[in-house]
């Protein structure tokens, strides 16, 4: 997917201006049926699980609102190999063998999904990104990878009249309101275990 390369380039350019412990902001790039790209950035990645769920809901909302055929999400993250000693119950960010990485997850309507990571190196007050590595298919998991997958699926199932209505709202300058309200519907569907098919009945 070409969108993966663009995400890599964005991260590599973003890290050039970072200093000390600064991180690049999480972002989403969505491509629609017309090959038009939309970029959305988040201020920072929250540590609270509920706030992370909200980011995932926003990612799905962006896919739906823009009619995504391809989407990529990028952020900094913690990665860890097999847990050591008694750390199996700890998240990667709390394990002694953790390492900081730049993380990219992508998906498209053909069902292709991918995750790439690269080590983030901090030396002499500067930040750099190492070589990119494609993870195996079984490593594609987590709330953000699933958000991309479900966002693409929801977008493909959206009724034409809903799509037209959302586009009218966006053309009227209501992008932020449309994305937030769509994310709220997704959050409600997640809380009530609503199926994807029933979501458009609301």
Q: Domain-by-domain residue ranges, the chain? A: 2-81+93-199
**What is the pairing mode between strands 68-79 and 99-108?**
antiparallel
E strand map for the chain? 27-32, 37-41, 68-79, 99-108, 113-123, 126-129, 133-134
DSSP conformational letter for 84? P
Distance of CA 147 to the CA centre of its chain: 7
Tokens 């909302």 correspond to 61
Contacts of 189-192 spanning 24+ positions with Cβ under 8 A: 190/53, 190/57
Residues in the chain, pLDDT under 50: 202
Instruction: Evaluate if pTM is beyond 0.85.
Output: no
- CA-wise closest residue to 75 among 98, 100, 103: 103
Residue 73: what pLDDT?
A: 95
What tokens does 196 get?
Answer: 């994807």
Q: How far apart are CA 202 and CA 60, in angstroms?
A: 17
Query: Is the separation of the CB atoms in 63 and 107 below 8 Å?
Result: no
Exposure b/e, 77-108, CB count within 10 A at least 16 = b: bebbeeeeeebeeeebeebeebebbbbbbbbb
Tokens 């930040």 correspond to 127
Give Cβ neighbours of residue 12 (< 8 Å, ≥ 6 apart).
129
Helix/strand/coil for 110:
coil
Residue 185: what pLDDT?
A: 86
Residue-wise pLDDT for 85-136, tens only, equals 665 665 555 666 668 889 999 999 998 898 899 988 888 888 888 899 998 8
Residue 202: what pLDDT?
A: 45
Longest dimension (CA), the chain: 57
């Amino acid at each position: 997917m070409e969108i993966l390369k663009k995400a890599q380039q964005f991260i590599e350019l973003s890290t050039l201006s970072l200093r000390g412990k600064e991180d690049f902001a999480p972002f989403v790039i969505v491509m629609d049926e017309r090959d038009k790209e939309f970029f959305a950035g988040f201020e920072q990645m929250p540590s609270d699980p509920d706030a992370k769920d909200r980011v995932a809901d926003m990612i799905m909302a962006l896919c739906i609102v823009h009619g995504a055929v391809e989407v990529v999400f990028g952020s900094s993250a913690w990665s860890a190999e097999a847990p050591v000693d008694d750390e199996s119950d700890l998240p990667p960010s709390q394990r002694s063998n953790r390492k900081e990485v730049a993380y990219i997850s992508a998906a498209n309507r053909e069902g292709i999904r991918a995750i790439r990571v690269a080590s983030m190196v901090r030396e002499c007050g500067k930040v750099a990104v190492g070589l990119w590595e494609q993870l195996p298919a079984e490593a594609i998991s987590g709330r953000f990878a699933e958000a991309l997958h479900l966002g693409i699926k929801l977008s493909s199932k959206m009724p034409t009249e809903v799509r037209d209505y959302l586009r009218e709202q966006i053309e009227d300058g209501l992008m932020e309101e449309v994305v937030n309200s769509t994310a709220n519907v997704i959050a409600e569907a997640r809380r009530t275990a609503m199926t994807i098919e029933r979501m458009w009945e609301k």
